[in-house]
Structure 1
Amino acid sequence: MVYLILAGVLLLAAALSFTAYKVMVGVGGGPIPNLKWLAVGIVAVLAVTTLGMSITIVGSRSVGIQTSFGKYRDTLNSGFQLTPPWSATEEFSTRVQYLDLDGEKDGVQVTFKGGGGGTVNATPRWRIDPDKAGDLWKKYKTFDTVRDKLVNSSAKDSIRVVTANYTPNEARSGEHLRKVSSQVQEDLAKSLADDGVIIDSISVKGITLDQRSQDSLDKIVSANNDIERAKAEQERARIDGETAKIREREGSLTGAALARYCLEVVNNWNVDRNGALPAGFTCAGGVPFTVTNK
């Protein structure tokens, strides 16, 4: 559009200059060289402008979308290209792009299986298929719109769909976190394949739970800890019981044996390290470590 306006102005100026020259010659005023050469100069400027606006340079690892009057015309490879001077070119990069879905603003809000929610922080890595760049332009017009309206929204949808199959505890575990990343990549690649967007990888960096989910998870962890503690205490009681039976069979639980053990402890007591024995301590009655009041 800019070229057409500029070309129209230059052609009009050249035509007026040449007409004025012919008129001056026709009325006998003699030739007016300045007007003649002015017209020639304007035509030369138009020719140079046309050539300059016909050369298009497409950056490396990019494709150019050539349009005329708002309509798609062709997809250009990188390098120097000759195009009609009235056409325009929009560059679409084919490099791998990084989309940061992170933090309170850009993180993905999700709902887990069984209730509760959280925020998933992830980084999709994607690129445009050069063979389908023209179709992308027809739908979205600019590269930024492809990134923001297509890839961004599709990535968030895939993350929500996949994480809905996991409980908060499952989704945050190392094993399932890798599964979440793999499944999101598969789902997103499938949904964007027809649009000409290739998904190289998805990195799920972490999941932050909301307060409700965190409280529920804390209760589960606490309950599991209580169970493990109870199992440990049962095992310790069983071992103590077995040990007592062994000692009883060996006669090491008789009064005399206990008294002897008590005396050995007293004889080997380290005052500097353990402090003095309690006042009134005695091995009376053959029971070790019995404190008697005097």
Structure 2
Amino acid sequence: MGGSVKDAILAMAGKSPWGSSPGQGGGPEGDDTRGEAGGGGEKPRNPWLPGGSDEPGTTGRKAANIEDLFRNRPGKRGPGGNFPRLPQAPGGRSWLPLIGVGVASLWLLLGSVHQIGPKEEGIVTTFGQYSRTMGPGLKLTAPWPIQKVEIEDVTSIRTDTIPEGEAEKLMLTGDQNLVDLSYIVRWNIKDLKLHTFQLANPDETVQQVAEAAMRATIAEVTLDQALSGAGRAQVEQSVRTRMQALLDAYRSGVAVQGVEIKKADPPTAVVDAFREVLAAQQDAQSDINRARAWAEQVTARAEGEAEAFDKVYAQYRLAPEVTRRRMYYETMERVLSQTDKTIVETGGVVPYLPLPEVRKSTKPPSASASASSPTSQGGR
């Protein structure tokens, strides 16, 4: 059915655009000859072919394909005919050897020369294995990937805050109380080789060791010691000693420079009750201080009186009678000066007259009477 449709289309067109159709004045092979019915007209030319006949065996130009077009372009192909031609150096030589030497020189320069700062050290590894440690300065090594250099700052102090942010870190004290601690750990690298190859994560190891040492130290002190200034200093020193001992046992290559307690507070849930307890303790301490001050005053007064008695006794031993009489007179003077008394001469003693009672019964004129007397006199 496909053949019949094709024949119908060709019959409607009259002839093929590339020549006469089979059966229209052509041979049995369908050669493109001039049609007899065309009145001597020429067949249409193939637009993809250059001028001339495209008949096999003719003297015209042959059909050009894409490979011929690219092959015939001058100056755009390499020796193989498939790649662009590179520019040539003077004298007709190629630039490829010079480019290769430049790339190799740059690779050697960047991979072999290393500048290490005054606070840094470098770890050199050869095919992944430790080779040596380099100090500050300009150093040379084999280029990568033969040798690799990792530079690390070993002098600067590193700071870790535990816990990070405002998180709560509760620890149990020796007297079964909880305290919320926040502290700072300062450390640096003392052996870069151990720090690099001995521990998988040195920073995390330092934090875990610090927390373990702090908990062990807080468990040995009371809450008051953990909160007070003197107790904090002892805790900080103990934590630093414990940390250094553990890190040395791990061969971590880390030196602990110091531990500082940033915050030591009671837990948030009991902070109000804790403040009341602190206030009561402060009041009790104030009462104790006042009692001690009063006791010191009484003791000083007693010591003064004892010293005065010792002086009197020394005088008494020198002149007992005179001292005894003087003491009697001074005592009587001190006693009688504070009481009402009546002095009566011996001999012809008159009857007793209660002068003290009379003196008490006789009242002095009041201030109101003295104030009104001038008015009454003026009225008279």
For the criterion TM > 0.5, the same-fold answer is yes
The structure with more strand, counted as a fraction of residues = 1
Q: What is the Cα deviation at residue 197 of structure 1?
A: 0.9
Confirm or deny that 1:152 pairs with 2:207.
yes
Please say if residues 111 and 163 of structure 1, whose CA atoms lie closer than 8 Å, have aligned partners that are also in contact: yes
Which structure has the higher relative contact order (CA within 8 Å, separation 6+)?
Answer: 1
Matches within 5 A, 1:1-294: 36-86=94-144, 87-101=147-161, 104-105=165-166, 108-129=169-190, 132-140=191-199, 145-146=201-202, 148-193=203-248, 194-212=251-269, 214-215=271-272, 217-225=274-282, 227-228=284-285
Mapped to 1, the partners of 2:150 and 2:185 lie a distance apart of: 24
Please say if residues 107 and 122 of structure 1, whose CA atoms lie closer than 8 Å, have aligned partners that are also in contact: no
Q: What is the Cα deviation at residue 88 of structure 1?
A: 2.2
The 1:154/1:81 distance shift into structure 2, 3 A limit, reads: same
Unaligned runs of 5+ in 2: 1-77, 81-87, 298-333, 340-380
Mapped to 1, the partners of 2:143 and 2:292 lie a distance apart of: 87
Q: What is the Cα deviation at residue 35 of structure 1?
A: 6.0
TM-score (norm 2): 0.47
Mapped to 2, the partners of 1:232 and 1:40 lie a distance apart of: 94
The 1:216/1:69 distance shift into structure 2, 3 A limit, reads: farther
Deviations 1:50-85 (CA, angstroms, capped at 9, x unpaired):
233111111211111122444332211111111111
Mapped to 1, the partners of 2:180 and 2:337 lie a distance apart of: 62
Mapped to 2, the partners of 1:205 and 1:46 lie a distance apart of: 56
The alignment of Structure 1 onto Structure 2 pairs a total of residues equal to 216
The 1:198/1:134 distance shift into structure 2, 3 A limit, reads: same
Q: Which amino acid in 1 is paired with 2:240? A: Q
Mapped to 2, the partners of 1:226 and 1:251 lie a distance apart of: 46
TM-score (norm 1): 0.59
- What is the percent sequence identity of the aligned residues? 21
Which residue of structure 1 aligns with residue 305 of structure 2?
A: none
Mapped to 1, the partners of 2:113 and 2:130 lie a distance apart of: 18
Q: What is the Cα deviation at residue 183 of structure 1?
A: 0.7
Mapped to 2, the partners of 1:252 and 1:124 lie a distance apart of: 77
1:124 partner SS: strand
Compare CA radii of gyration and give the structure with the larger one: 2
Mapped to 2, the partners of 1:154 and 1:236 lie a distance apart of: 48
Mapped to 1, the partners of 2:137 and 2:106 lie a distance apart of: 21
The structure with more helix, counted as a fraction of residues = 1
2:275 partner SS: helix
Which residue of structure 2 aligns with residue 14 of structure 1?
A: none
The 1:151/1:237 distance shift into structure 2, 3 A limit, reads: closer
Q: Which amino acid in 1 is paired with 2:148? A: A
The 1:60/1:231 distance shift into structure 2, 3 A limit, reads: closer
Please say if residues 63 and 76 of structure 1, whose CA atoms lie closer than 8 Å, have aligned partners that are also in contact: yes
